[in-house]
Amino acid sequence: MPDPRPGPLSLAHPSRRLRRSTLAIALAAGLAASLPACSAGPDRFQTLEVAGRPVAVQLPSGYDGENPVPLVLALHGFGSSSKTLDESFHLSDVVDELGFLYLRPEGTLDCEGRSFWDATEVCCDFCGVDVDDSGYLRDVIAEARRRFAVDADRVYVVGHSNGGFMAQRLACDHAELIAGVASLAGAGAMDPSTCTPSEPVHWLQIHGTADERIRYRGGIVRGRVYPGARTTARRWAEIAGCSPGAQPGDEALDLVEDLDGAETRVLRYEQGCAPGGSATLWTIEGGVHAPLLTRDFGRRVVSYLLAHPKRPTAPALD
């Protein structure tokens, strides 16, 4: 959303600003002439256009077009944007450190001008626009793989709220493309028969116990029921054939700035799982729907995903 506040006013006289600009250009030209020439690498910030819709792309430093890198597709929440999601999740901050290709598509505007993903009957095509976002995002991944060197064993989807619902829809429909999903405050359909993925994926469910919009224990949106966070994680564990009992994590995590201490408990379904599948639940005690996340949140989420490739024999990342 644009900042409604006016920008800072310049008090300099126009002619002075012109002279300063001319001087700055001359200095910059002189500096450029004195520097040694270097080979131009790929533009690290690009835009893909898929089905007439723009997708922001950020390449990691050192990307050479030859060595495949992981791909992370980030999906914003209902009425939000990719920029707002990134400001909350801090994913762009760790692109260089963790070395992944970062894609940020935008949803479609509904009849009230709200951006949404048509994920499930629960959320969030409330105006009946009827967009095939599952097919569209599949094509976004395919186009990225065509244009860039992508590690096919490390293609991941991260989503918040409506974006979390959409991430689950992608895993249901296109599991052959996706190694893992991280969903904050999202859910799927209540009927398990509507999600029959072709193969397991790694699932990370993140949810706050005080979420006022998508309830931790499940709830109803406009008369349609959705499952709770524990049920969602357990279903993905069942899809992967994991042993029924979840194992608690060794320590709690600190994911939220305005909650004291390490507020997030970890449960893992990783025993007996089929190759390429597992499920983990991060429960944020007291966490709301859009928590104030720590600067380390994006690093924690992407690091978790990168440690879970599609094939257990996939080469380890440096």
Q: Provide the H-helix boundaries in 225-296.
A: 229-239
Which distant-in-sequence residues (6+ apart) come within 8 Å of 136 by Cβ?
Answer: 50, 51, 53, 105
3-state secondary structure of 75: strand
Whether the bond into 123 is cis, omega within 30 of 0: no
pLDDT, one tens digit for every residue, the chain (318 residues):
333 333 332 233 333 333 333 333 333 333 333 333 333 456 899 999 999 999 999 999 999 999 999 999 999 999 999 999 999 999 999 999 999 999 999 999 999 999 999 999 999 999 999 999 999 999 999 999 999 999 999 999 999 999 999 999 999 999 999 999 999 999 988 899 999 999 999 999 999 999 999 999 999 999 999 999 999 999 999 999 999 889 999 889 999 999 999 999 999 999 999 999 999 999 999 999 999 999 999 999 999 999 999 987 777 786
Break the chain into its structural domains and give their ranges: 41-306
Architecture of domain 41-306: 3-Layer(aba) Sandwich (3.40)
Neighbours of 47 (CB within 10 A): 10
Indicate the angle between helix axes 82-89 and 297-306, nearest 10 degrees.
90
